[in-house]
């Protein structure tokens, strides 16, 4: 396991606060209130370990397939439905949404290899990630990827807590499946809009792993 580069500053700040709080606690509380000092140490240590854990990148054997759409994020499948995309395609698509809790790995990966046709950041609200309108009204970053088997749209969507979306892709770029697409801090969701006729391989409430779980298979 390694730590994601997006976490360096946050972990540094957390380590600094952990050190300052516990040095002051040792100086002013340890003699007269040792239990309080110990409790403070335990609580701040757990918070520091949570921050480190949030930015973890576990080593995995990634799934690869030209027709396969690989899950771009860890989490749970919360939506599988037919929708009309108003942003890019202007037609019907199959939406598959993955909810990411604060305990999940938060690096996002390219679900397919291909060319980036579109990459656009949208300002918006911070509705809870499972709200039906979060897909179109929340802060988000949308990317369209195309290969020989189809064109898909991936949305990184901010939630009530997640207020920083990082995206690494730009239009015209060639990307490989499972390479890093971006990162969302402190939980949210990722939507995929797939062509009608795509065979969805997951079920509602299924727990999925980014870079490993096959979400769907494109038709040639």
Note if 142 is an active site residue. no
With a CB cutoff of 8 Å and minimum separation 6, the contacts of 117 are: 144, 145, 146, 151, 171
What is the per-residue pLDDT for 187? 64
Contact 159, 189 (CB under 8 A): yes
Distance CA 199, CA 52 (A): 37
Q: How far apart are CA 214 and CA 136, in angstroms?
A: 25
What is the per-residue pLDDT across 60-93, written as a single tens digit (0 to 9) for each? 999 999 999 999 999 999 999 999 999 999 999 9
Distance CA 88, CA 100 (A): 24
pLDDT digits (tens, 9 = 90+) for 3-36: 888 889 999 999 999 999 999 999 999 989 999 9
pLDDT at 127 over 70: no
> Phi and psi (nearest 5°) for 25?
-60, -45
Active-site position among 25, 119, 134, 188: 188
């Amino acid at each position: 396991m390694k730590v994601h580069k997006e976490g360096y500053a946050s972990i540094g700040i957390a380590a600094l606060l952990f050190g300052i709080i516990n040095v002051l606690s040792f100086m002013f509380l340890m003699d007269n209130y040792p239990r309080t000092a110990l409790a403070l140490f335990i609580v701040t240590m757990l918070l520091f370990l949570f921050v480190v854990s949030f930015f973890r990148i576990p080593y995995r054997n990634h799934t690869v397939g030209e027709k396969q759409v690989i899950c771009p994020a860890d989490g749970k499948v919360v939506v599988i439905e037919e929708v009309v995309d108003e942003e890019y395609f202007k037609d019907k698509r199959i939406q598959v949404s993955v909810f990411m809790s604060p305990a999940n790995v938060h690096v996002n990966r390219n679900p397919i290899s291909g060319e980036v046709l579109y990459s656009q950041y949208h300002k918006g609200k911070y509705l809870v990630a499972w709200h039906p309108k979060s897909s179109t009204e929340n802060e988000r970053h949308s990317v369209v990827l195309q290969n020989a088997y189809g064109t898909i749209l991936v949305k990184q969507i901010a939630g009530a807590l997640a207020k920083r979306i990082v995206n690494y892709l730009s239009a015209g770029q060639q990307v490989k499946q499972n390479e890093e697409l971006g990162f969302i801090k402190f939980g949210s969701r990722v939507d995929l809009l797939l062509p009608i006729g795509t065979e969805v391989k997951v079920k509602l409430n299924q727990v999925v792993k980014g870079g490993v779980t096959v979400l769907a298979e494109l038709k040639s």
